A and B are shown apart, each in its own frame.
Chain A
Amino acid sequence: MPTRRQQYEARIRRRSALIAGGSTALVIAAVLLLVPMAPGWPAVKKSFFNADVFAKTFPGLLDAFLWDVAIFLWSAPLIFALGLLIALARDARSPALYPVRLFGVLYTDIFRGVPVILVIYLIGFGIPGLGLPRPWNSPYIWGTVALVLTYSAYVAEVFRTGIESIHQSQRSAALSLGLSNRDVMRYVILPQAVRKVVPANMNIFIALQKDVALLSFIGPVEIFRQAGVYKSLMANFTPYVGAALIFLALTIPATRYADHLLAKQRRARS
């Protein structure tokens, strides 16, 4: 026999589920009924949701997406390392290292202040323009450099937040044992800070995976460029929808996972 409280809560739960289900069904029905009533719907349906085109282009898009994944995979570790270095540079306390600190500040200000696409253009077209021999003029190299430079600035800020979030008492405890400042950072502060900002960094890396598509503007035939090629060949926009779906298949689970980690962290703290 459930208690009065349990009966009451079960009743509330049933009621809430009913209302949520009903309102969702209503919205879906409205979209399904109203959108096809728009005057341009038949044309949009043909050029964006064409099953034939979708089936023909999807395997090619998937192949091209491997480039996006590859570029992501070799950029991510570089970003992690450079971001950590920049974060530490901004923490350098000795006067001799002042230039390092200044560099850290300027770096994060500049690369967080310029749109990614501009950095990609400037580096992707500018540096190969110096007349470098193959393979050093490859847009894959300089596109990667542009992404690494930009994203390191964001990751550095996240690491710095993490470092600052470690309580002063941890530092005191480590120092009181006679450890050097360097060892305190390396063995006590950083390991805790890096763990703490995993969810925040995951969100940045999800954004990176999407921004790899921007490299299409300087050459690499990755998924966005490939979709553009198909669009021109078939005079149809469906390949873009296919590309979007492929991105979502990767980013939605990753986003969910990051949110899950965040929620877990919040629970652990409370």
Chain B
Amino acid sequence: MAFLETRGLIKAYGDNPVCRGIDLTVEKGSLVCLIGASGSGKSTLLKCLNLLEPVDDGEIHFDGEDISIPGLDPQRVRQRIGIVFQSYNLFPHMNAMENVLLAPRRVTGQSREALRPEAEALFKRFGLGDHMTHFPDQLSGGQQQRVAIVRALAMRPEIMLFDEITSALDPELVGEVLDVLRALREEGMTMVLATHEMGFARELADKVCFLDAGVILEEGPPEQVFGAPKEARTKAFLSRVL
């Protein structure tokens, strides 16, 4: 079984079915890109994966464990699965460093002093060395998003989920965030990325999944999905966005 795998995942909001039976497999160390129009179920799928949304039916297996069993304590699972959102969602009343240290402090019970060196290393690695004491409203969108990534990485997740993390950014800031993803890719982080950055998906993804109306309509290596899509709807979508 793959590192992360969903089987027949179903999720509806009220009468509105969003995920209608998704079978997704993510191998350890791979980068999977989810593409598709708005409303195709990408974001909801990611939220289901780290249990922010309970699934209505179907299974999610993570590292050999079924994490979609109703009643399972989601806290322990979420500590191992990082997620970054489109709108950064930094905590506005804390500076960047406090944003990053909060979860490790509370979850591991270690002191700020003990955790700071590792956090500082992450900040510096992603070009944020000068911004550790800045508050979110003093940072640009790209900087905020990188802090959000550092915040998720500080929990040492085994897999990272990215929910259209560049969609709210000005075009000239997209590059600095994509560079972070490239760096993570190089160190072998397992990643699932819902994205509209087709160029990025084509360049780096191990697998591209095209979501349409709540199912994975087509999947495969990027050359295949982008170069020779089989489904008419995939072709139509790609011709609109490329």
Task: For chain B, residues 79 to 132, give those with C-beta under 8 angstroms from any C-beta of chain A.
Answer: 79-80, 82-83, 85, 87, 89-93, 102-103, 106-107
Chain A contact residues (Cβ within 8 angstroms of B): what range? 10 to 19
Q: Which stretch of A131-139, A174-182, A197-205 is in the interface?
A: A174-182
Query: Does B91 contact A173, Cβ atoms closer than 8 Å?
Result: yes
The residues of A that contact B50 with a CB separation of less than 8 Å are 176
Query: Does A195 contact B93, Cβ atoms closer than 8 Å?
Result: yes
Of the candidates B80, B92, B93, B102, the one whose C-beta lies within 8 Å of that of A179 is B102
Query: Does B92 contact A176, Cβ atoms closer than 8 Å?
Result: no
Query: Does B79 contact A178, Cβ atoms closer than 8 Å?
Result: yes
A-B contact number at CB 8 A = 61
The residues of B that contact A192 with a CB separation of less than 8 Å are 91-93
The residues of A that contact B151 with a CB separation of less than 8 Å are 177
Interface: B76 (CB within 8 A): yes
The residues of A that contact B102 with a CB separation of less than 8 Å are 174, 177, 179, 187-188
Chain B contact residues (Cβ within 8 angstroms of A): what range? 20 to 34
Interface: B78 (CB within 8 A): yes
A178 and B93 contact, Cβ closer than 8 Å, known pairs A169-B87, A172-B85, A183-B106:
no
Interface: B19 (CB within 8 A): no
Query: Does B89 contact A180, Cβ atoms closer than 8 Å?
Result: no
The residues of B that contact A169 with a CB separation of less than 8 Å are 85, 87, 89
Residues of B within 8 A of A (CB): 47, 50, 52, 74-76, 78-80, 82-83, 85, 87, 89-93, 102-103, 106-107, 148, 151-152, 155
29 contacts between A and B (CB under 8 A): A169-B85, A169-B87, A169-B89, A170-B89, A170-B91, A172-B47, A172-B52, A172-B89, A173-B89, A173-B90, A173-B91, A174-B103, A175-B78, A176-B50, A176-B52, A177-B78, A177-B102, A177-B107, A177-B155, A178-B78, A178-B79, A179-B107, A180-B75, A180-B106, A187-B102, A188-B91, A191-B93, A192-B91, A192-B93
